[in-house]
Structure 1
Amino acid sequence: MKFKTFAMFVGPSILLMLVFIAFPLVTVLVNSFQVTQPIFTTQTVETCTPGFVTQTCTTSVKTVPVLDEAGNTVTTTRWVGLSSYANVLGGDRLTRALSNWDIGAVLRIDFWKALRFTLTFTLITLPFVLALGLAVAVVVNNAARSIKGPVIFVSLLPFIITPVIGALSIRWLFYGDGIVTIWLEALFSTDLAVAANGWAVEFLMMFYRVWHVAPFAFVIFYAGLQTVNQDTLESAVIDGASRWERLRYVVIPHLMPLIVFITLIHLMDAYRAFEEVIGFSSQSHRITLQYLTYDFLQPDDAGNRQISSASASAMLTMIGVVILLAAPLRRTWRDHRGG
C-alpha cells in the first residue's frame, strides 16, 4: 500500500485521537501540577448611618477579587508540583492515620473511601457478570429455535435501558415505599430503611451493575458458542463426558479469549462508575473515584472550582485503570505471541 493511501485512511483517525484524547490528557496532566486562583485586593469601605448631626461613620477593610475591564475576575496560575496529589490523597490526615495504624481514619478520607468502594464494586461484580452472562448464553444456545428470538430480546433489555434510568428503576423498587421494600416489611414484620444503610445501598449498586452489564457478556458468549467445534463436543459425549465436563474442558477454554475481552471492558467501565452514585443518591454513603473528580469540579459559594485537585484525581483514576488492566493485557499478549 502506498504511503499516500495509507495516510488518507489512517490520518483522520490519528488526528481525531490527538484532538480528543491526547490533547485533553496532556491538559489534565499539566493542570494537576498547577493551581489557578483569583487575585484579591483589599479595599477600605466607609459606612455611615443616616442623619446629619448624629451621623456616625465606620471604616472596614474588605477583601474583593480584582476585575478586568470586562468585569471578569483576574486569576493567576502557579506551579505547585505534587501538592494537589498530596491534598487528594489526604495530606496530613493520611500521615497521622498511617502513623497510628488507624485504617478507619484512612477510609474516612474521601479518596481512600472512594478507592475502597470502587475496587470492591469492580472486583466483586466481575465474576457475577461473567458467570451470569455465560449461563444465559448456554441456556439460550440450547433452547428451541422458536423461543430463541424472544429470549434474546428479553435478555438484552437491561443493557438497552439508559444507565441512569436503570439505576432509578432499581432504586424505586427498594427506596422509601418501594414495592420490594413493602413486601419485605410485610414478610419480616419490621420497618426497613434501605437508603439509610450504606451496605444495603452498596449491595443494590452492585446488583444493578450485574443486571445491567450481564447482557453484554451474554451477547459476546453467545456469539462465541456458535464457533465451538461440534466434532470435539461429539467426541466428548462419546467418551462419556457429562454436560458440566464438556462445559469445563471444551467450551470454557474455547471462550477464554472472550472471557479476557469481557474482563477488560468490565474493569475499565466499572472502575469509572458514575451513574450508580447519581441514580442511587449514595453520596453520603458510597462514592466512586469518578464521582470524586466530579465533586471537585463543583463550584463553591464563591464560584471557584478545584481544577487542580480534579485533574490529580482524574490522573490517579487513570493510573488505577492501567494497574487493573495489566494482568489481562499481559495474558492477551502472551496468548498472541503463543499463537
Structure 2
Amino acid sequence: MKFRTFAMFVGPSVVMMLMFIAFPLVTVLLNSFQVTQPVFQVVETETCTPGFITQTCTTEIKTIPVLDGDGKTVTTTRWVGFSSYANVLGGERLTRALSDFDLGAVLQIDFWKALRFTLTFTLVTLPLVLGLGLAIAVVVNNAATAVKGPVIFVSLLPFIITPVIGALSIRWLFYGDGIVTVWLEALFDTNLSVAANGWAIEFLMMFYRVWHVAPFAFVIFYAGLQTVNQDTLESAIIDGASRWERLRYVVIPHLMPLIVFITLIHLMDAYRAFEEVIGFSSESYRITLQYLTYDYLTPDDAGNRQISSASASAMLTMIGVVVLLAAPLRRTWRDHRGA
C-alpha cells in the first residue's frame, strides 16, 4: 500500500485521537501541577446611615476579587508541583494516620475511601459478571430453537436500559416504601431503612452492576460457544466426560481469549463507575474515584472549582486503571506471541 493511501485511511483517525484523547490528557496532566486562583484586592469602603445631622459613617476593610475590563474575575496560575496530588491523597492527615497505624483514619480520607470501594466494587463484580454471563450463554446455547429468541431478548434488556435509569429502577425497589422493602418488612416483621446502611447500598450498587453488565458477557460468550469444536466435544462425551468436565476442560479453554477480553472491558468500566453513585445517592456512604473527580469540579458557594485537585484525581484514577489492566494485557501479549 502506498504511503499516501495509508495516510488517507489512517490520518483522520490519528487526528481525532490527538484532538479528543492526547491533547485533553496532556491538558489534565499540566493542570494537575498548577493552581489557578482569582486575584483579590483589599479595599476600604465607607458606609453611611441615612440622615444629615445624625448621620454616622463606618469604614470597613473588604477583600474583593479584581475584575478586568469585561467584568470577569482576573486569575493567576502558578506551578505547585505535586502539591495537588498530596492534597488529594490526604497530606498531613495521611502521614499522621500512617504514623499511628490507624487504618480507620486512612479510610476516612476521601481518596482512600473512594479507592477502597472502587477496588471492592470492581474485583467483586468481575467474577460474578463472568460467571453469570457464561451460565446464561450455556443455558441459551442448549435451549430449544423456539425459545432462544425470546430468552436472548429478555437477557439483553438490562444492558439496553440507560445506566442511570437502570440504577434508579433498582433504587425504587428498595429505597423508602419500595416494593421489595415492603415485602421484606412484612416477611420479617421489622422496619427497614436501606438508604441508611452503607453495606446495603454497597450491595445494591454491586447487584446493579452485575445485572447491567452480565448481558454483555452473555452475548460475547454465546458467540464464542458457536465456534467450539463439536468433534472435540463428541470425543469428550465418548470418553465419559461429564457436563462439568466438558465445560472445564473443553469450553472454558476455548473461551479464554473472550474471558480476557471481557475482563479488560469490565475492569476499565467498573473502575470508572459513576452512575451508581448518582443513581443510588450514595455520596454520604460510598463514593468512587470517578465521583471524587466530579466532586472536585463542583463549584463551591463562591463559584470556584478545584481544577488542580480534580486533574490530580483523574490522573491517579488513570494510573489505577493501568495497574489493573497490566495482568490481563500481559497474558494477551503472551498468547499473541505464542500464536
TM-score range, shorter chain: over 0.9
Task: Give the distance between the partners of 2:289 and 2:250, measured in 1 at CA.
Answer: 39
SS at match of 1:21: helix
Q: CA deviation at 1:55?
A: 1.3
Question: Cα RMSD over matched residues?
Answer: 0.4
Q: CA deviation at 1:53?
A: 1.3
- 1:261-272 to 2 correspondence within 5 Å? 261-272=261-272
In structure 1, runs of 5+ residues without a counterpart are: none
The answer to whether the aligner puts 1:288 opposite 2:280 as a matched pair is no
- 1:1-40 to 2 correspondence within 5 Å? 1-40=1-40
Q: Post-superposition, which runs of at least 4 consecutive aligned residues in structure 1 deviate over 6 A? A: none
- 1:147-162 to 2 correspondence within 5 Å? 147-162=147-162
Partner of 1:49: 49
Task: Give the distance between the partners of 2:98 and 2:120, measured in 1 at CA.
Answer: 21
Partner of 1:140: 140
The answer to whether the aligner puts 1:179 opposite 2:179 as a matched pair is yes
Per-residue CA deviation, residues 182-233 of structure 1 (Å, 9 max, x unaligned), is 0000000000000000000000000000000000000000000000000000
Task: Give the distance between the partners of 2:256 and 2:309, measured in 1 at CA.
Answer: 40
SS at match of 2:199: helix
SS at match of 1:108: coil
Q: CA deviation at 1:56?
A: 1.1
Amino acid of the structure 1 residue aligned with 2:248: R
- 1:82-101 to 2 correspondence within 5 Å? 82-101=82-101
Task: Give the distance between the partners of 2:148 and 2:49, measured in 1 at CA.
Answer: 84
Amino acid of the structure 2 residue aligned with 1:81: G
Task: Give the distance between the partners of 1:92 and 1:334, measured in 2 at CA.
Answer: 43
Q: CA deviation at 1:54?
A: 1.6
SS at match of 1:64: strand
Task: Give the distance between the partners of 1:42 and 1:254, measured in 2 at CA.
Answer: 72
- 1:66-81 to 2 correspondence within 5 Å? 66-81=66-81
SS at match of 1:47: strand
Partner of 1:254: 254
Amino acid of the structure 2 residue aligned with 1:141: N
Task: Give the distance between the partners of 2:286 and 2:242, measured in 1 at CA.
Answer: 44
Task: Give the distance between the partners of 1:247 and 1:104, measured in 2 at CA.
Answer: 43
SS at match of 1:305: coil
Partner of 1:126: 126
Per-residue CA deviation, residues 251-289 of structure 1 (Å, 9 max, x unaligned), is 000000000000000000000000000000000000000
Q: CA deviation at 1:311?
A: 0.2
SS at match of 1:312: helix
SS at match of 1:61: strand
Q: CA deviation at 1:52?
A: 1.3
Task: Give the distance between the partners of 1:212 and 1:22, measured in 2 at CA.
Answer: 30
Q: CA deviation at 1:48?
A: 1.1
Amino acid of the structure 2 residue aligned with 1:295: D
Amino acid of the structure 2 residue aligned with 1:52: F
Q: CA deviation at 1:51?
A: 1.4
Amino acid of the structure 1 residue aligned with 2:287: I
Amino acid of the structure 2 residue aligned with 1:222: Y
Task: Give the distance between the partners of 2:83 and 2:226, measured in 1 at CA.
Answer: 54
Per-residue CA deviation, residues 308-337 of structure 1 (Å, 9 max, x unaligned), is 000000000000000000000000000111
The answer to whether the aligner puts 1:229 opposite 2:229 as a matched pair is yes
Per-residue CA deviation, residues 89-114 of structure 1 (Å, 9 max, x unaligned), is 00000000000001000000000000
SS at match of 1:59: strand
The answer to whether the aligner puts 1:315 opposite 2:315 as a matched pair is yes
Task: Give the distance between the partners of 2:168 and 2:52, measured in 1 at CA.
Answer: 64
Partner of 2:191: 191
Task: Give the distance between the partners of 1:42 and 1:255, measured in 2 at CA.
Answer: 69
Partner of 2:324: 324
Task: Give the distance between the partners of 1:49 and 1:164, measured in 2 at CA.
Answer: 55
Amino acid of the structure 2 residue aligned with 1:245: E
Amino acid of the structure 2 residue aligned with 1:182: V
Amino acid of the structure 2 residue aligned with 1:154: V
